[in-house]
Every structure is written in structure tokens, then in C-alpha cells.
Amino acid sequence: MARDLDAGFADLYEAYRGAVFSTALRLCGRWAEAEDLSAEAFLRAYRALCGYERERIEGLRPRAWLLTILANVWRNSLRSAARRPATGPIEDAPDPPDPGEGVE
């Protein structure tokens, strides 16, 4: 993979996409979110490989490396979700107080 990153990465993707997706699905429990997590993990892996020296690439244990990236992506998504305010359907929102209520 070190010589031809694009072709090597395509092979890496084909070899490990099932393992990455199934792990993502076990982590989050939702198909669409697992697809997003998997895509983000592979994107980060590709970006990381672009900056690696040849020796480092050759020494990688791809499955463990990809699943570690996936776990980090998943943890980041949990932290991000915790910072977003919870929203629900508008019909579940309480009625606003009446401004004239209590005024005599």
C-alpha cells in the first residue's frame, strides 16, 4: 500500500469495510449512523495514511488500527451529541405562558 496509496486503500477498504461497519452497528445500534461512522472512520484513515512514512504504513495492523479509529469517531459523535440541545417534535412542546395570566 505504501507505493500506491489510492489502490492500496481501495484494497484496505474492501478487506475491512464489513468489520468496520458491523462494529459501528454494534456500537450505535442504528444502520444509518453506522454507515456515517464507518465512512468517517475510513476518511480519517485515508487522511492519516497520507501523512505516514512508508515504514509506518508497512508496520500497521490494519484491522486493529481501523477499529481504533472507528472507536474514536464514535466517542467523538457521543460527545458532540451530548453538547447539542435535545429537540423533539413541536407538538410535544409545552404551551407558552399567557402573558395576561395573573394580571388584574
- The domain limits of the chain are 5-81
Exposure string over 76-93, b if 16+ CB within 10 A, otherwise e: ebeeeeeeeeeeeeeeee
Q: What is the pLDDT of residues 29-41, one digit of tens each?
A: 999 999 999 999 9
Cα 90 to chain center, whole Å? 28
What parts of the chain have a pLDDT lower than 50? none
Query: What does the pLDDT read at residue 66?
Result: 98
The listed CATH number (1.10.1740.10, 3.40.470.10, 2.60.120.20, 1.10.10.1100) that belongs to domain 5-81: 1.10.1740.10
Query: What does the pLDDT read at residue 5?
Result: 83
Query: What does the pLDDT read at residue 67?
Result: 98
